[in-house]
Amino acid sequence: MTTDLAWIDKALIAARPQAVAALLRYFRDLELAEEAFQEACLKALAAWPRNGPPRDPAAWLIFVGRNAALDAKRRDRRLAALPDEDAISDLDDVEGDLVERLDQAGYRDDILRLLFVCCHPDLPSTQQIALALRVVSGLAVRQIARAFLVSESAMEQRITRAKARVAKAGTPFETPSAIERAERLTAVSAMIYLVFNEGYSAGEATNEARTALCDEAIRLARLLMKLFPAEPELMGLSALMLLQHSRAAARFDAEGGVVLLEEQDRALWDRRMIAEGLALIEKAMRRRAPGPYQIQSAIAALHAQAASGSDTDWRGIDQLYATLERMQPSPVVTLNRAVAAAKLAGPEAGLALIEPLADKLSGYFYYFGVRGVFLKQANRFAEARVAFDRAIALANSPAEAAHIRMHLDQLTSEAAPQ
């Protein structure tokens, strides 16, 4: 008989999305679905060590959670309560029936609906991320608050406001059509990548609460891939995050300073993640339905496959960014393409690409950082200093500011007499 509490914890985490999603469909109330799941978890912690794990943990949790919620409603109406704990601990037959009904009800759409609720268009991105981490991932408010560098009470209010907005806006619970499903997948994918970027762009090597968000985003993407195994853009999204996250150990030095991609110790890159990412890209490309995530993951793949910075296929990267520009025009995409252009044709070529972006990216740290580097490489030191000063003012973290100051220090030693 399995009594390993660590196993039980993993089982509860793995079952959470399916269980909460099914309970949401039953009750059409996010708060009630969460409470029902928590009640089921408490009963699991009491019953499973004693009786052994159920055949299907998710089905067990759904059945017990649903009945616990109904029991609470009955108590409110002064009706009879459910049987005691021992009477519901052995649920083999009922559990099997429930699994069959879940399959017929459309498990995939349950999960997609839950994720879609969390990325409701009425919610700002910060609330979307917080709600997904709380409801789908089950992270404690304390953990989420630490990741966002805010107080626990502030995060609790943020999540409460998000739930209230979702409840007020109303969400369709009918099975989505093929077109609606595609739209939801696009929205959910964007939300998952927001979760990833919230951790990836933390800018602090030691902030485990932020970098753990990358792992959680990858886990959510894998969950979606299990539900929609033929979707090439989900493969592309997963590959992109895996390839970017594979560099985590090399992105900062021992003092917490930023290490640029070309200068990173590639021996520190996670080769297992890289191999998984490359396999996903290859699988996605065979579908012959290219999309933005696949293009971005292909760019990350070229970086991952280069033995050193000097071996990078910048021409291939430039061509991929040009494709991405046509597919999904964005000043940030053009800014990234400018880096490749500068590698191929020199800093002036890079400057020519980014100059038209000045107004659109006037508040963007990376624009002024890249512009400063190009100007410095072109020996336009006075202009480079102005760009770097602006970058420091817009820095998102101490590590980013310190990196720009390093460039300013180099300017002082390299600048020719004016």
- Rounded distance, CA 407 to CA 388, Å? 8
Strands (E), 278-362: none
Give the residue carrying structure tokens 């150990």: 249
What pLDDT sits at residue 107?
61
Domain ranges of the chain: 5-105
What pLDDT sits at residue 128?
87
What pLDDT sits at residue 176?
67
What Rg do the C-alpha atoms of the chain give, in angstroms?
A: 25
Q: Which of 251, 244, 278 is nearest to 265 (CA)?
A: 251
pLDDT 10s digits, 292-323: 999 999 999 999 999 998 899 999 999 999 99
Measure the CA dihedral 4/223/20/6, to 10°.
Answer: 10
Name the phi and psi angles at 196, rounded to 5.
-60, -50
Give the residue carrying structure tokens 């950082």: 369
CB 148 within 8 A of CB 32: no
Contacts of 276 (CB under 8 A, 6+ apart): 239, 242
Residues of the chain with pLDDT under 70: 1-4, 76-108, 170-176, 202-210, 414-418
> Hey, is 258 helix, strand or coil?
strand
What pLDDT sits at residue 2?
45
